[in-house]
Structure 1
Amino acid sequence: MDPSDQKRFTAVDYVIFAVLLAASMGIGLYHALSGGRQRTTQEFLMADRSMSCLPVSLSLIASFQSAVAIIGVPAEIYTNGTQYWFIGCAYFLGLLIPAHVFIPVLYKLRLSSTYEYLELRFSKAVRICGTLTFIFQTVVYMGVCVYTPAFALNAVTGFEIWAAVLATGLVCTLYTTMGGLKAVIWTDVFQTVVMFAGQLAVIVVGVHQTGGVSEVWSKVWEGNRISALNLNPDPTEKHTFWTLGVGGVFLMLSLYGVNQAQVQRYLSARTEKEAVRSCYMVFPSLQLSLALSCVMGLVMFARYCGEDHSDMLANSSNDAMVIYFVMDMLEGLPGLPGLFVACLFSAALSTISSAFNSLAAVTMEDLVKPYFPAMTEARATLVSKALAMSYGLLCLAMAYLTHLMDVSVLNVALKLFGMVGGPVLGLFCLGMFFPWANSTGAMAGLGGGLALSFWVGIGSIINLSSSPRLLSAGCRAALPSDNGTSPIHTALGNFTLSKPSGLNRFYSLSYMWYSAFSGFTVILIGLIISFLTGPMKEEDVTPGTIYPLLGKLLCFLPEHLQKKLCCVTPQGQTLSATQHKEGNGLALPQEDGPSQEETDRFLPEVQAALVEHETAV
Structure 2
Amino acid sequence: MFGAMILIAIKGTWNLGGIGEVLRRNWSGQRIEGPVFDPNPLTRHTIWSLIIGGCVYLLQNSGIDQNMLQRYMSLPTLKDGRKALWGFFFGLSGIVLICSYCGMILYATYYKCDPLTTGLAKQKDQLLPLLVVEVLGDFPGLPGIFIAGIFSAALSSLSTGLNAMAAVVLEDFYKPFFKRSLTNKQTLYVMRITVIIFGTICLGMVYVIEKLGTVLQLTLSMGAVASGPSLGLSTMGVFLPWVNAKGALAGSITSLISLSWICYGAQSMIAAGTLTFQHKPVSTEECNYHFMPKPWNTTTIFDSSQEFSIYRVSYLWYTMIGVLIAVPVGLVVSFLTTPLDPNDVDPKLLTPLVRKFFKPKKCTDETKYGETFDLPMQKTVITKEESTNEDAHMVT
Unaligned runs of 5+ in 1: 1-194, 476-496, 553-561, 576-583, 587-595, 608-617
Q: Which deviates more from structure 2 when the two are superposed, residues 343-352 or residues 530-539?
A: 530-539
Distance change in 2, residues 1:532/1:336 (3 Å): same
Which residue matches 1:379?
Answer: 186
Q: Secondary structure at the match of 1:436?
A: coil
Match of 1:363 among 144, 148, 169: 169
Which residue matches 2:199?
Answer: 392
Q: Distance in 2 between matches of 1:441 and 1:503?
A: 33
Which residue matches 1:203?
Answer: 9
Q: Which deviates more from structure 2 when the two are superposed, residues 313-322 or residues 334-343?
A: 313-322
Q: Which has the higher helix share?
A: 1
- Pairing of 1:67-86 with structure 2 (within 5 A): none
Which residue matches 1:446?
Answer: 252
Match of 2:58 among 252, 259, 268: 252
AA at the equivalent of 1:437: V
Q: Distance in 2 between matches of 1:247 and 1:350?
A: 26
Distance change in 2, residues 1:605/1:258 (3 Å): farther
Distance change in 2, residues 1:226/1:365 (3 Å): same
How many residues in Structure 1 have an aligned counterpart in Structure 2? Answer: 361
Which residue matches 2:48?
Answer: 242
How far apart are residue 360 of structure 1 and its match? 0.8
Match of 1:421 among 218, 227, 235: 227
Distance change in 2, residues 1:470/1:349 (3 Å): same
How far apart are residue 334 of structure 1 and its match? 1.1
**Deviation string for 1:264-299 (max 9, x for gaps)?**
100111112211221122111111100010000000
Distance change in 2, residues 1:303/1:379 (3 Å): same
Which residue matches 1:230?
Answer: 36
The answer as to whether partners of 2:239 and 2:354 remain within 8 angstroms in 1 is yes
The answer as to whether partners of 2:256 and 2:322 remain within 8 angstroms in 1 is yes
**Deviation string for 1:403-424 (max 9, x for gaps)?**
4x14110110010122221111
The answer as to whether partners of 1:313 and 1:320 remain within 8 angstroms in 2 is no
- Pairing of 1:461-480 with structure 2 (within 5 A): 461-463=267-269, 465-473=275-283
Distance change in 2, residues 1:240/1:300 (3 Å): same
Q: Secondary structure at the match of 2:42?
A: coil
Q: Distance in 2 between matches of 1:568 and 1:242?
A: 39
**Deviation string for 1:51-78 (max 9, x for gaps)?**
xxxxxxxxxxxxxxxxxxxxxxxxxxxx
How far apart are residue 522 of structure 1 and its match? 0.1
Q: Secondary structure at the match of 1:459?
A: helix
How far apart are residue 455 of structure 1 and its match? 2.1
1:534 equivalent to 2:341? Answer no
1:550 equivalent to 2:362? Answer no
**Deviation string for 1:324-365 (max 9, x for gaps)?**
011111110111100001111111110100011101111111
Q: Secondary structure at the match of 1:410?
A: helix
**Deviation string for 1:436-466 (max 9, x for gaps)?**
0011111110111112212222222234621
Distance change in 2, residues 1:574/1:207 (3 Å): farther
Q: TM-score scaled to structure 2, two decimals? A: 0.83
1:275 equivalent to 2:81? Answer yes
Distance change in 2, residues 1:573/1:406 (3 Å): farther
Which residue matches 2:107?
Answer: 301
The answer as to whether partners of 2:343 and 2:360 remain within 8 angstroms in 1 is no
Which residue matches 2:320?
Answer: 516
AA at the equivalent of 1:416: M
1:412 equivalent to 2:224? Answer no
The answer as to whether partners of 1:544 and 1:574 remain within 8 angstroms in 2 is no
Q: Distance in 2 between matches of 1:261 and 1:606?
A: 39
AA at the equivalent of 2:185: A
How far apart are residue 574 of structure 1 and its match? 9.0
| Greater relative CO, 1 or 2 (CA 8 Å, sep 6+) | 1
The answer as to whether partners of 1:415 and 1:512 remain within 8 angstroms in 2 is yes
Q: Secondary structure at the match of 2:36?
A: coil
- Pairing of 1:532-611 with structure 2 (within 5 A): 532-542=336-346, 544-551=348-355, 562-563=357-358
Distance change in 2, residues 1:325/1:368 (3 Å): same
1:321 equivalent to 2:131? Answer no
RMSD (CA atoms)? 3.0
Q: TM-score scaled to structure 1, two decimals? A: 0.54
**Deviation string for 1:174-211 (max 9, x for gaps)?**
xxxxxxxxxxxxxxxxxxxxx10000001100001111
AA at the equivalent of 2:248: A
Q: Secondary structure at the match of 1:418?
A: helix
How far apart are residue 472 of structure 1 and its match? 2.2
Which residue matches 1:500?
Answer: 304
Distance change in 2, residues 1:390/1:462 (3 Å): closer
Q: Distance in 1 between matches of 2:364 and 2:324?
A: 29
Distance change in 2, residues 1:344/1:604 (3 Å): farther
How far apart are residue 229 of structure 1 and its match? 1.4
Q: Secondary structure at the match of 2:348?
A: coil
Q: Secondary structure at the match of 2:349?
A: coil
AA at the equivalent of 2:64: V
The answer as to whether partners of 1:250 and 1:515 remain within 8 angstroms in 2 is yes
How far apart are residue 569 of structure 1 and its match? 8.1
